[in-house]
Amino acid sequence: MHLHLTAEDAAFQQQMREFFTTQVPQDLRQRWAAGGEPSADDMRQAQRILNEAGLAVPHWPVEWGGKEWSQLQRHIYLQEMQDASVPPPLAFNANMVGPVIAAFGSQELKERFLPPTANLDIWWCQGFSEPNAGSDLASLRTSAVLEGDEWVVNGQKTWTTLGQHADWIFALVRTEPDAPKKQMGISFLLIDMKSPGVTVRPIQLIDGGHEVNEVFFENVRVPADQLVGERGQGWTYAKFLLGNERVGVAPVGSIKRRLADAKSYAAATRDGNGSLLDQPLVAARIAELESQVAALELTVLRVAGNSKEGKPDPVSSILKLRGSQLQQDVLELIADIAGPASLEWKRGDDSETEAWAALATPTYLNFRKASIYGGSNEVQRSVIASAILGLKG
């Protein structure tokens, strides 16, 4: 099998590579590559550099900053960004609420929100999951009642990622509690996080970090014109949004970079008269992962190259499943190479532990989430079984 880029796509790849490695500051990219909790300032700086160059929201409509790229070009853009360790545009802005407003919002909402969303002048967070409505999202109970020209919102959201930095939240709220089906009567509302009655409470995760939050709404008054699209059609918009969330779900560039890091860490770790990289079991494990990542990369290229009319190939479910698995396998390898040093977690100034080793186990634990977000791996297996293999449950 021979897969290669056309001259045009190869030139595009070189253009992206040169931009990411020369226009985004190296110290910013090094901090991102090191891992740990992301810096909000670094994410803002990176997105504004991309946006100034017209590279923050290439999948949006052209009139709002998009590019008429092929799926393959978009794949190349993402892989080169990951390979250069550039913080990607904030997913809540670029992949979620932005496309929803562009597709379903009024002209007033588009003009008001899309430019600052692309430039990360507004930091959005997602208000979907609730304590009893996560995987079963349609069971959400947060309510919005129309009083005059305002919605009055009451309820609770949870697992709100990076909500501590957010200026606004896009929330699914129940506006028709008597609708015959639970998927009906849900609306998509834009809420200012500074509104009276909004409370954000941090959730500490198993990796020790503060990445997600609970968000409470107590009689929060929201202007009626901040409802996106039609009242009661929020479920339709949510499905559109989640489809965009799954784009680029096989982060091959990031996996390859972390696997290269694993090799260098193994080579630098002494073991007897040699290094861990000299150990046959370690070398075999790395070789197996390299083979599997190469197979994934070829599959991603085939899927991107065969996509028609801008629609992802249904095989993208395989990419999500294998991408998340390989990402976790590589992070587990790094934690194993670090050994007991990875249990230090909170590295003090006088610590002799390498920074990468101290972060190894927290990072491994944090990325267990990859099995859930963007459509859980169990859901992807069902899609593969029914839509690709033709198996009926």
Domains and CATH numbers, the chain: 7-89 (no CATH), 123-230 (2.40.110.10), 248-389 (1.20.140.10)
- Which pLDDT belongs to residue 311? 55
Q: Which pTM was predicted?
A: 0.87
**262 backbone φψ class: left, alpha, beta (φ>0; ψ -120 to 50):** alpha
Residue pair 277/266 in contact by the 8 Å Cβ criterion: yes
Tell the burial category of 361 from Cβ atoms under 10 Å away from its Cβ (0-12, 13-18, 19+).
buried
Q: What is the pLDDT along the chain (393 residues), one digit of tens a residue?
A: 556 789 999 999 999 999 999 999 999 999 998 887 889 999 999 999 999 999 999 999 999 999 999 888 988 999 999 999 999 999 999 999 999 999 999 999 999 999 999 999 999 999 999 998 877 788 999 999 999 999 999 999 999 999 999 999 999 999 999 999 988 999 999 999 999 999 999 998 888 888 999 999 999 999 999 999 999 999 999 888 876 655 566 788 899 999 999 999 999 999 888 999 999 999 999 999 999 999 998 888 887 776 655 555 667 788 889 999 999 999 999 999 999 888 877 767 777 888 899 899 999 998 998 888 777 888 888 888 988 888 876
- Which pLDDT belongs to residue 353? 83
Task: Report the candidate in 97, 96, 127 with the shortest Cα–Cα distance to residue 110.
Answer: 97
State the DSSP H helix or E strand holding residue 44, giving kind and residue range, or none if neither. Answer: helix 40-52
Quick one: how far is CA 219 from the chain centroid?
31
21 vs 13: CA distance, rounded Å = 12
Residue pair 49/20 in contact by the 8 Å Cβ criterion: no
State the DSSP H helix or E strand holding residue 34, giving kind and residue range, or none if neither. Answer: helix 26-34
H helices, E strands: number in the chain: 13, 10
- Which pLDDT belongs to residue 72? 85
- Which pLDDT belongs to residue 240? 84
- Which pLDDT belongs to residue 273? 86
Residues forming beta bridges with residue 147, ordered by sequence position: 150
Task: Report the candidate in 351, 178, 330 with the shortest Cα–Cα distance to residue 255.
Answer: 330
